[in-house]
Chains A and B, each alone.
Chain A
Amino acid sequence: MKWRVVELETHDAYLNMALDEAVSEDIMNGSSPPTIRFYTWKPGAVSIGYFQSMKDEVNLDTCRELGIDCIRRWTGGGAVYHDAKGEITYSLIAPASLFPKNIIKSYEMICGWIVNGLKTLGIDAVFSPVNDVLVGGKKISGSAQTRREGILLQHGTVLFDLDLVTMFSVLNVSKQKFSDKMIKSAEERVTSIIKQIDVDKKDVYDALLRSFTEDKDFEYGAWSMKEMFRAKELARLKYKTDKWMFSR
C-alpha cells in the first residue's frame, strides 16, 4: 500500500481539522490514499476534545482579544493550545485495518514513530499510555484518535516551544487566579524540544518525517481539488459553526 505524505503546511484551525475529515471521507470511498500530513496553525488556536464543552474549557473573550481561533475536534481528549510557532502537528489518516484493533496499542504504534524521531535528535522520549509521549516524566507530545467507517484518524502535536502565559490565558485550566505558581506547576509537567536540546524546528520536522515514513512505501503529494473543495466546505458548514463548536 502506497502512502501519501503531505509536507509541512500552514492553515487556520478550521481548514486543518476539515482536511482530516475530507481525506477520511475520500479514503473511505477509495479515491484517496492513506495519508500522513504535517502542519502548523495560523492564527494560533485552541482545540477542544469532541466531548468537551467550549464554554467550560476556553476563555473565549481572551481568544477574541488575542486573535486566537477556537475549534472543537472530531477526536476526543483534552483542550490544547496550538501556538502558531511553538508546535508541529501531524495527522495520520488510513484504513483502520492497518493498525491494531486495540486503541491503546495503535496509539503505542503511531506515538512510537514520534518517540523514534525524537530519539534520533538525542531526546530520550518514551510512550506513556493512553496517548502521550514523555521526556523525563514530562509531556512533550499528545495525540488523539477516532475511527469512523473503517478509517483511523490520529492527530497530535509535538511541542517545540512553550508559551505558558498565553496557554493559561486562553484555557480555563483552573478557577484559581492565574499565577506564577501555576506556571511553575505546568513546567513540572510539560516540556518542549528546545528545553531539551538546541535545535532548529526544521531539523525536528525532518526527524519526524523520517520516522513516520520509515519502512513505508510512500510518495510526496498534495491535496486533490476534490479534497480541498470538500475541506473548505466542511470548514464553513461544520467546524466554524456554533452548532458544532458549542454542541456540548
Chain B
Amino acid sequence: MIFQAKQKVKEGKVVKVEVDCEKFIKDIKITGDFFIHPEEILDEIEQSIIGLERSASIETITSNIKSRIADMDIQMISISPESIALLIREALI
C-alpha cells in the first residue's frame, strides 16, 4: 500500500514522501526542491528507511538516517533527517 505526505518542512522547502508499506516499509521515494551534497546520499537515506516497521517512531527513523550518513562528508540544505522522519510518520498515520 502506498502512503503519501507532502509539506513545507521547517527548513523551508517542500518535501514529499511516498512510502510503500505493509507491516514493514518496502520502498520509499523522497522528492522536493531541497539540496543534498553529494546528491547520491539521498539513495542512502532512502535505503536506511527500508525495512523499518510501519510503527517506527520519529526518533527511530531519524536515528537510522543519521547512522547511515554519520561518517560521510555531506551538507543538507533546507531539509534534515528529522524533517524526513516527521514526514514519513505523518504519511504512515
Contact = CB atoms under 8 A, between A and B. Distances in A.
B38 interface: yes
Contact of A49 (B12, B16, B33, B38): B33
Contacts, number: 52
B37 A146 contact: yes
A104 B32 CA distance: 19
8 contacts: A49-B33, A51-B30, A51-B33, A51-B39, A56-B31, A79-B33, A103-B35, A248-B29
A102 to B, nearest CB: 8
Nearest to A102: B75
A147 interface: yes
A89 interface: no
Contacts of A146: 37-39
Given A130-B35, A147-B37, A51 B77 contact: no
Contacts of A130: 12, 35, 77-78
Given A51-B42, A147-B38, A148-B38, A77 B75 contact: no
B77 A53 contact: no
A101 B67 CA distance: 23
Interface in B3-41: 12, 16, 29-39
Contact of B36 (A53, A76, A144, A148): A76
Contact of A103 (B12, B16, B32, B37): B37
B9 to A, nearest CB: 13
A77 B78 CA distance: 10
Nearest to B12: A130
Chain A contact residues (Cβ within 8 angstroms of B): what range? 20 to 34
Nearest to A50: B39
Contact of B34 (A53, A76, A248): A76
A112 interface: no
Given A53-B16, A145-B35, 17 more contacts: A49-B32, A51-B30, A52-B33, A53-B29, A56-B16, A74-B39, A75-B35, A76-B33, A76-B36, A77-B33, A79-B33, A103-B37, A103-B75, A103-B77, A130-B12, A147-B38, A148-B38
Contacts of A43: none
A49 B34 CA distance: 8
A52 B31 contact: yes
| Chain A to chain B: the 7 pairs with minimum beta-carbon distance, closest first | A78-B33, A76-B35, A53-B31, A50-B39, A103-B75, A49-B33, A248-B31
Contacts of A78: 33
A104 B75 CA distance: 10
Contact of A51 (B34, B38, B75): B34
A105 to B, nearest CB: 11
A51 B42 CA distance: 9
Contacts of B35: 75-77, 103, 130, 144-145
Contacts of A147: 37-38
